[in-house]
Amino acid sequence: MASFSIKPNLLVIFILLMNATFAQEKKSGPIIENYGKVWTVENPDFKVNKNTTFKAVFDIMNSPEDSSQLNTSIETAARFLNMHAQSGVPLAQLKVALVVHNKASKDVITSKAYKAKYGVDNPNEDLLKVLMEAGAQVIFCGQSSASRGYPKEDLIDGVQLSLSAMTALIQLQDDNYRLIKF
């Protein structure tokens, strides 16, 4: 069996190079701190148009089965805001709306109402509040409200009740919002 040895100095240099290569970390902010971490993309070929207004509507219909977990679909809106701001797009040019329905209906109720149903605080409440503070609209489907038993009184302050998710999605797209569905 052949054996080889690596000189200690070469091993240290190799480890340092590997760490430098993978040292980049995802980061949140500057708009939504503590949520929406994104990678920095250095010198992309397809450039971000920093003079345009980005209008995105996120169709939020799924939610984790584990009621104590954050809904990563909601966090996508924070990633959208942070990555564009990190790339130099001003907040005034970032318009975000979330249309929430179906299994994600539970994610827009207060921690008090959530705890009564699921035994834990709503893990999405803080994220939704900071999104709304940054100007995002959070729109809840009235049909899901009625069918799933989440009345308007239980909604987090600032969440808007609509006739339906379909209605909100159509109206926002008519206002040039682009549908983001992950």
pLDDT digits (tens, 9 = 90+) for 108-150: 999 999 999 999 999 999 999 999 999 999 999 999 999 999 9
pLDDT value of position 20: 46
How far is the C-alpha of 38 from the C-alpha of 57, rounded, in Å? 19
Q: Token digits for 50? A: 């920093």
Quick check: helix, strand or coil at residue 179? strand
By CB atoms closer than 10 A (0-12, 13-18, 19+), residue 144 is: buried
Rounded CA gap, 76 and 179, in Å? Answer: 13
Tell me if 47 is assigned to some domain. no
The answer as to whether 16 is a domain residue is no
CB-based contact 57:179 (threshold 8 Å): yes
Give SS3 for 91.
helix
Domain count within the chain: 1
Determine the structural domain holding residue 79 and report its residue range: 54-180
Q: Is residue 36 part of a domain?
A: no
Token pair in block for residue 116:
């009564």
Adjacent-strand bridge partners of 95: 55
Instruction: Write out residues in the chain with pLDDT < 70, as ranges.
Output: 1-23
Residue 101 forms part of a structural domain: yes
- For residue 131, what are the contacts with CB-CB under 8 A and spacing of at least 6? 32, 74, 77, 78, 81, 96, 98, 138
CA distances from 70 to 14, 104, 131 (A): 38, 11, 14
Give the pLDDT confidence score for residue 165 in this predicted structure: 98
Residue 9 included in any domain: no
Asked if residue 28 belongs to a domain, the reply is: no
Residue 134 sits in a domain whose CATH number is 3.40.1260.10
Considering the domain boundaries, does residue 61 fall inside one?
Answer: yes
Q: How far apart are CA 117 and CA 115, in angstroms?
A: 5
pTM for the model stands at 0.86
41 located within any domain: no
